[in-house]
A and B are shown apart, each in its own frame.
Chain A
Amino acid sequence: AQTVTQSQPEMSVQEAETVTLSCTYDTSENNYYLFWYKQPPSRQMILVIRQEAYKQQNATENRFSVNFQKAAKSFSLKISDSQLGDTAMYFCAFIQPGTYKYIFGTGTRLKVLA
């Protein structure tokens, strides 16, 4: 069965600094998608970034970028120039197309310090 592991329950970073959140996953499939979702205190789940496994190029969205290492089954999120509004719970997620089962990690609580 596919699993998603986030080994950092909590992290903190100074405003304007860079932070990296870790995520590993386990699958025997070759075609899948990976996501990072943000859940701020409002609890609204917001898509941060999406990566297609068949693409070697790492996805980027403004200050957010990923380091996708397919062989290592690693999918880390880098947040550059951290802002107070980045304070949130971050979830890594995986899905194999055709299964309709998005699998989420347990989350990393990120606090950006002023």
Chain B
Amino acid sequence: SQTIHQWPATLVQPVGSPLSLECTVEGTSNPNLYWYRQAAGRGLQLLFYSVGIGQISSEVPQNLSASRPQDRQFILSSKKLLLSDSGFYLCAWDRADGEKLFFGSGTQLSVL
């Protein structure tokens, strides 16, 4: 069966510090991978998606970047965090877009 792992679960970082959130999928190959952000009391905002190794599409101009160094690994990064980067970050995958989107357990990021 397929599983998705996302870590860490919580993270408190000072403004201006770097960020690295990691997500891995097991039990499938060539998944589509996604990073979403959920602000408090709001819906999910698509940040990045990837359809293959090294292929990253950005949806929102921002302080963040994403990379896919391996088929089932998706990384969300920042060189310098801003207060506005605080939120709940969710990694997700699907086999084909529109089929089903499976989510990781999320990372609560607080930038202080």
Contact = CB atoms under 8 A, between A and B. Distances in A.
Interface of A: 4, 32-33, 35, 37, 42-45, 47, 50, 91, 93, 95-107
Contacts of B102: 47
B84 interface: no
Contacts, number: 55
Interface string B13-47: 00000000000000000001010100000111010
Q: Label chain B's interface by main secondary structure.
A: strand
Interface of B: 32, 34, 36, 42-44, 46, 49, 51, 57, 59, 88, 90, 92, 96-98, 100-103, 105-106
Q: Label chain A's interface by main secondary structure.
A: loop
Contact of A45 (B51, B59, B96, B103): B103
Contact of B43 (A32, A35, A96, A107): A107
Given A43-B105, A44-B105, A50 B100 contact: yes
Contacts of B43: 4, 91, 104-107
Contact of A99 (B34, B88, B97): B97
Nearest to A91: B43
A98 B103 contact: no
B101 A47 contact: yes
Contacts of A99: 97
Residue in A4, A101, A105 whose Cβ sees the most chain B Cβ within 10 Å: A101
A70 B92 CA distance: 27
Contacts of A44: 103, 105-106
A47 B98 CA distance: 12
